[in-house]
């Protein structure tokens, strides 16, 4: 299996990664060989087999009582913010 | 005798008898770290002040007759994947440089409640993605038995620190072998419990359906003492299991394998494996037989699909989990020019290392439109087949014994340019995660070159007790686990 440069670029955009030309070329080779190896899964007959999402069966999503509990203060939640404005995370402009 | 040569259980008894103080042994550990870590690189952060204060508090509790239990005053250390309130947590990545979590992971909180002294944060592969500790953005950790070699990964620092007598036990995480493989390479004991035994709250996520927390120790008993302090249902993680946590350490005292049926899968002795590894593991199996176990051939026919399955499921989940590193709320943020979208692309391009990018790319591809059914869904179905193999085998046996790895620790740099070759070496550890089973690695010998070899013991879901009994009985009859590397 061989990926094209365009396929690698498309995946990089989906993954929100800007890659250099060198990286694209290196990943093209490496991803091709890894995906080529993974292709061996196609050889198995999996018709009628249920997918395993979690290895251990957990009873649906448990609900807890809807009660007020302590949580992080705004100050500690924002302590690592690269930029903030009062109690808000600040981001660069969204609409170009 | 230097107190750092004691096992955790022995130290605990000495502290209880007041023959040693926590301040003394914590000081000895910090001295040891200062003397050896320049060469090893096991620690990313050492909290000297905090550790000495916790030791003093433990000593004061003991003096007042209010000691908490076997971990009170015992110096431990944590893989840098656990969030620690007020202590930097990098996950081995540049993207989290300078990040100081506002809360403790469930495990950190439970260890603190048990009185443990936390020495610091341990080196690891970036976001736990790697088998050699070489993908760490802060430089590799080295194997205490041979510093030109890897200690294993991703929990390389956690294994090396215990082997080098820098601490009495440590926590790691295991998504595809990241506890058992470094335990084998570094000559220590490590256990990945059943998926859901431990909470994942406060553990930086890699692959959520596979990630599990577990301890490293010099002995199986030491691992039991740490695991029973951190295991158990946690309201903060809905996938943590509501199952009773037994006193594993008490249950393994004087344990015997007499009458046990131990499965030996032929698929785990493959062509091309290191003959020293095969010899040591076969020898260990023979000894277990001598001790009264019956060896039973079992079949795990889908073993050969384990790596391919894992390298779809894990990257897919990682690409989703790592979407949160966007430069908005914490960590690196490259926003000097451009709008929001540019910030995402630049932050992630500069913050993530090559292996993390590679896995995000594989996972994004596998989940992308048109490929989901062929890759992710199919891999999850093969995962069911792998799990069924184990269900079938465990009808007839109490545990399964295998080599932990096909090789001994390899040289730093040897495989870093060939990711597929690095992945293929995980062949014996991955299936355990895919099936959610508990697995342990115990030292079972050395190669002709003096490098440690590990025996892997796999158990039924929630049956860690059998692993501790087998590990304990084996260690009572052998002395591999007592050997120490010469370093520093």
d(CA B93, CA B97): 7
Q: Which residues of B touch A45 (CB under 8 A)?
A: none
- Any chain A CB within 8 A of the CB of B176? no
B353 or A61, which is more confident: B353
pLDDT digits (tens, 9 = 90+) for B220-260: 999 999 999 999 999 999 899 999 999 999 999 999 999 99
Q: What is the model's pLDDT at position B88?
A: 98
Minimal Cα distance from A20: which residue of B? B349
Report the CATH architecture of B3-250.
Answer: Alpha-Beta Complex (3.90)
pLDDT digit string (tens) for B86-139? Answer: 999 999 999 999 999 999 999 999 999 999 999 999 999 999 999 999 999 999
Nearest CB partner across the interface for A91, out of B328, B360, B423:
B328
Domains of chain B, residue spans: 3-250
Nearest CA to B332 among B126, B135, B96?
B96
Query: What per-residue confidence (pLDDT) applies to B328?
Result: 97
Q: Do A80 and B329 touch (CB under 8 A)?
A: yes
Q: What is the CATH number of domain A5-43?
A: 1.10.20.60
CB of A88 less than 8 A from some CB of B:
no
Give me the total of CB pairs closer than 8 Å, taking one residue from chain A and one from chain B. 174
Residue B331, min C-alpha distance to chain A (Å): 7
Of chain B, the percentage scoring pLDDT greater than 90 comes to 94
CA distance B367 to chain A (A): 10
Question: What mean pLDDT is predicted for residues B348-365?
Answer: 97
Residue whose structure tokens are 């594989």: B362
> Whole-number mean pLDDT of chain B?
97
Provide the strand spans (E) within B70-177. Answer: 75-79, 117-122, 170-174
Alpha helices in B41-124 (DSSP H): 48-63, 106-113
**A43 CA to chain B: closest CA distance, Å?**
10
Distance (Å) from the alpha carbon of A75 to chain B's nearest alpha carbon: 10
The arithmetic mean of pLDDT across residues B274-297, rounded, is 98
Whether A1 has its CB under 8 Å from any CB of chain B: the answer is: no
Q: Which of B19-28, B89-98, B361-370, B459-468 has the lowest mean pLDDT?
A: B361-370
Query: Does residue B62 carry a pLDDT above 60?
Result: yes
A48–B contact, CB cutoff 8 A: no
Kindly tell me if the per-residue pLDDT of A96 is higher than 70: no
> Do A7 and B344 touch, CB atoms closer than 8 A?
no
- pLDDT at residue A59, rounded to an integer: 63
Mean pLDDT across the stretch B135-158? 98
Complex-level ipTM beyond the 0.85 threshold: yes
Would you state the pLDDT for residue B420? 86
Instruction: Flag if A92 and B340 touch (Cβ within 8 Å).
Output: yes
Q: What is the pLDDT of residue A58?
A: 66
Whether B309 contacts chain A with CB within 8 A: yes
Contact B136, B80 (CB under 8 A): no
- Chain-chain contact of A52 with B387 (C-beta, under 8 angstroms): yes
**CA dist A78 → B21, B79, B102 (Å):** 40, 25, 9
Banded model confidence at residue B393, pLDDT cuts 50, 70, 90: very high
Q: Domain coordinates of chain A in residue numbers?
A: 5-43
For B176-190, how does the pLDDT look when each residue is reduced to its tens digit (9 = 90+)?
Answer: 999 999 999 999 999
The answer to whether the beta carbons of residues B123 and B44 sit under 8 Å apart is yes
Q: Which of A67-71, B146-150, B163-167, B455-459 has the lowest mean pLDDT?
A: A67-71
Which residues 6+ apart lie within 8 Å of B227 measured at CB?
B191, B193, B197, B198, B214, B215, B248, B464
pLDDT at B195 over 60: yes
In this prediction, residue A3 carries a pLDDT of: 93
- Active site (catalytic) residues of B: 79, 154, 178
Q: How many other CB atoms are there within 10 angstroms of residue B296's CB atom?
A: 15
Nearest CA to B396 among B294, B469, B473?
Answer: B294
User: Testing the interface with A: which of B101, B200, B364 to mutate, by most A Cβ within 10 A?
Assistant: B364
Q: Which pLDDT belongs to residue A95?
A: 79
- Residue A4 confidence (pLDDT) above 60: yes
Contact B181, B131 (CB under 8 A): yes
Contacts with B331 from chain A: Cβ below 8 Å: 80, 82
Question: Is some CB atom of chain A closer than 8 A to the CB atom of B109?
Answer: no
How many angstroms away from the CA of A26 is the closest CA of chain B? 10
Kindly state the average pLDDT of the residues A32-50. 94
Nearest to B312 among A38, A52, A58 (CB): A38
B488 pLDDT band, cuts 50/70/90, is low
pTM over cut 0.90: yes
**Confidence at B201, pLDDT banded by 50, 70, 90:** very high
Q: What is the pLDDT of residues B398-428, one digit of tens each?
A: 999 999 999 999 999 998 888 888 888 899 9
Instruction: Take residue B336 and report the two structure tokens written for it.
Output: 């000097």
Q: How far apart are CA B104 and CA B11, in angstroms?
A: 26
Please tell me the predicted confidence (pLDDT) of residue A64: 83
């Amino acid at each position: 299996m061989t990926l094209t440069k365009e396929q690698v670029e498309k995946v990089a955009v989906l993954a929100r990664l800007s890659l250099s030309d060198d990286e694209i070329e290196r990943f093209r080779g490496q991803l091709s060989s890894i995906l080529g190896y993974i292709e061996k899964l196609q050889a198995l007959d999996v018709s009628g087999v249920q997918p395993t999402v979690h290895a251990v069966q957990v009873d649906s999503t448990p609900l807890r009582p809807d009660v007020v509990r302590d949580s992080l203060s705004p100050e500690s939640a924002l302590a690592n913010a690269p930029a903030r404005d009062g109690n808000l995370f600040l981001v660069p402009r969204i609409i170009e | 005798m230097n107190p750092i040569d004691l096992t955790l259980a022995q130290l605990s008894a000495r502290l209880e008898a007041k023959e040693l103080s926590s301040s003394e042994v914590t000081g000895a550990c910090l001295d040891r770290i200062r003397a050896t870590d320049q060469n090893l690189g096991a620690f990313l952060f050492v909290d000297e002040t905090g550790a000495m204060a916790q030791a003093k508090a433990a000593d004061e509790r003991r003096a007042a007759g209010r000691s908490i239990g076997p971990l009170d005053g015992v110096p431990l250390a944590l893989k840098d994947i656990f969030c620690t309130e007020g202590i930097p947590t990098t996950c081995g990545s540049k993207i989290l440089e300078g990040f100081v979590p506002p809360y403790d992971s469930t495990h950190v909180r439970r260890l603190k409640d048990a009185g443990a002294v936390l020495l610091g944060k341990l080196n690891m592969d970036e976001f736990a993605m790697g088998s050699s500790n070489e993908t760490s953005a802060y430089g590799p950790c080295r194997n205490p038995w041979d510093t030109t070699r890897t200690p294993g990964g991703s929990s390389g620092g956690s294994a090396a620190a215990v082997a080098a007598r820098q601490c009495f036990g440590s926590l790691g995480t295991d998504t595809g072998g990241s506890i058992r493989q470094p335990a084998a390479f570094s000559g220590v004991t490590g256990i990945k419990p059943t998926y859901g035994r431990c909470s994942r709250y406060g553990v930086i996520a890699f692959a959520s359906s596979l990630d599990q927390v577990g301890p490293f120790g010099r002995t199986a008993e030491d691992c039991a003492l740490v695991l029973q302090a951190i295991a158990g249902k946690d309201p903060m993680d809905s996938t943590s299991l509501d199952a009773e946590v037994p006193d594993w350490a008490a249950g393994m005292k004087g344990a015997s394998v007499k009458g046990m049926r131990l499965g030996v899968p032929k698929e785990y002795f493959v062509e091309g494996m290191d003959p020293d590894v095969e010899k040591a593991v076969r020898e260990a199996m023979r000894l277990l037989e001598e001790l009264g176990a019956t060896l039973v051939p079992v079949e795990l026919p889908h073993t050969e699909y384990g790596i391919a399955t894992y390298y779809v499921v894990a990257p897919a989940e990682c690409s989703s989990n790592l979407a949160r590193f966007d430069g908005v709320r914490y960590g690196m943020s490259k926003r000097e020019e451009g709008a929001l979208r540019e910030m995402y692309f630049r932050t992630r391009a500069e913050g993530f290392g090559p292996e993390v990018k590679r896995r995000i790319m594989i996972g994004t591809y596998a989940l992308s439109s048109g490929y989901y059914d062929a890759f992710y869904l199919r891999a999850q179905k093969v995962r069911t087949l792998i799990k069924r193999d184990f269900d079938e085998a465990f009808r007839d046996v109490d545990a399964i014994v295998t080599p932990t790895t096909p090789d001994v620790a390899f040289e730093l740099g040897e495989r870093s340019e060939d990711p597929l070759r690095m992945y293929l070496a995980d062949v014996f550890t991955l299936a355990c995660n895919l099936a959610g089973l508990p697995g342990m690695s115990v030292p079972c010998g050395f190669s002709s070159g003096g490098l440690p070899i590990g025996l892997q013991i796999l158990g039924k879901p929630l049956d860690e007790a059998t692993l501790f009994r087998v590990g304990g009985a084996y260690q009572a009859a052998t002395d591999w686990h007592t050997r120490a590397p010469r370093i520093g």
